[in-house]
C-alpha cells in the first residue's frame, strides 16, 4: 500500500487518539522495512498497515473492523480535498462512485508507481439504488463502507447499504446493495 495511505492512518490516530498512541504503536510494531517514516509515494507491505490497525485496536479496545470503517470515513474528505479535480462537475454520489474505478483509480495508478487499487464496479438497480462490486486481495470492504459514508456526507445525502455477499465469507467479490435517499 502507498505511503500516503499510511500517512492518512497516522493522521487519524493522532487526531482521534493522540500522538502518544502513535508513538506506542511505532515502538511495538515489527515493521518489515526500515520505516517509519512512511513516505507518500513509496510502497510498503500491506502487513505493516494491518499491524498498525491491530495494535491500535489493542490499545483502544475498539474492534479492528470499526477502526477500518472509521479510517475510510476519515480518509474520504481528505482525498477529496487533495484531488478536487475528481469532484469537479460531479453532481451526484452515484455518478461519482461510477468514476472511481475507471477514472480515479486509473489516475492513481499513473500518479503513484506501483499503486494497486481495488476493483470497484457500480451497477444500476434503479435511480436510487446501485450494487457495488468490490474485489481486492486485501479484503478491505469495511474501508469501502467507511468511504461510502464519507461520500454520502460529502454530497449531503443519506445512504444505507448492506452486504449481499462478502469476500471475508469466501465469496469471489463483495456485493454491497446501496440505497440513496433524498
How many residues touch ligand HEM (CB under 6 A)? 27
144 lies in the site for ligand HEM, by CB under 6 A: yes
* Residue 177 exposure: Cα atoms within 13 Å on the Cβ side: 6
**DSSP labels, 44-112:** --HHHHHHHHHHHHHHHT--HHHHHHHHHHHHHHHHHHH-GGGTTT--SHHHHHHHIIIIIHHHHHHHS
Taking CB under 6 A as the criterion, the residue among 52, 68, 108, 175 binding ligand HEM is 108
Within residues 109-128, the interface with ligand HEM by CB under 6 A covers 112, 115-118, 120
Identify which of residues 25 and 44 has a Cβ nearer to ligand HEM in the complex.
44
| Other beta carbons within 10 Å of 110 | 8
1 lies in the site for ligand HEM, by CB under 6 A: yes
Cell numbers representing residue 83 in the block: 484531488
Identify which of residues 88 and 182 has a Cβ nearer to ligand HEM in the complex.
88
The contact pattern for ligand HEM, residues 78-97, with x = CB under 6 A and - = no contact, is -xx--x--x----------x
What whole-number distance in Å separates Cα of residue 145 and Cα of residue 163? 10
Taking CB under 6 A as the criterion, the residue among 104, 167, 174, 176 binding ligand HEM is 104
What whole-number distance in Å separates Cα of residue 20 and Cα of residue 11? 12
Identify which of residues 18 and 45 has a Cβ nearer to ligand HEM in the complex.
45
The secondary structure element, H or E, covering residue 133 is: strand 129-135
100 lies in the site for ligand HEM, by CB under 6 A: yes
CB 115 within 8 A of CB 2: yes
Contact positions toward ligand HEM, by CB under 6 A? 1-2, 4-5, 79-80, 83, 86, 97, 100, 104-105, 108, 112, 115-118, 120, 136, 138, 140, 143-144, 147-148, 151
Amino acid at each position: 500500500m502507498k505511503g500516503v495511505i499510511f500517512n492518512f492512518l497516522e493522521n487519524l490516530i493522532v487526531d482521534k487518539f493522540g500522538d502518544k498512541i502513535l508513538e506506542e504503536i511505532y515502538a511495538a510494531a515489527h515493521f518489515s522495512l526500515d520505516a517509519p517514516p512512511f513516505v507518500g509515494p513509496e510502497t510498503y507491505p500491506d502487513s505493516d498497515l494491518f499491524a498498525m490497525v491491530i495494535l491500535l485496536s489493542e490499545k483502544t479496545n475498539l474492534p479492528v473492523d470499526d477502526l477500518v470503517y472509521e479510517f475510510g470515513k476519515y480518509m474520504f474528505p481528505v482525498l477529496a480535498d487533495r484531488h478536487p479535480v475528481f469532484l469537479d462537475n460531479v453532481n451526484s454520489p452515484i455518478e461519482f462512485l461510477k468514476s472511481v474505478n475507471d477514472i480515479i483509480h486509473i489516475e492513481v495508478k499513473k500518479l503513484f508507481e506501483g499503486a494497486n487499487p481495488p476493483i470497484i464496479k457500480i451497477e444500476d438497480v434503479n435511480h436510487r439504488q446501485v450494487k457495488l462490486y468490490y474485489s481486492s486481495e486485501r479484503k478491505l470492504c469495511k474501508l469501502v463502507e467507511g468511504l461510502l459514508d464519507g461520500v454520502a456526507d460529502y454530497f449531503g445525502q443519506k445512504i444505507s447499504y448492506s452486504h449481499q455477499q462478502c469476500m471475508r465469507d469466501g465469496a469471489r467479490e463483495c456485493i454491497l446493495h446501496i440505497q440513496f435517499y433524498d
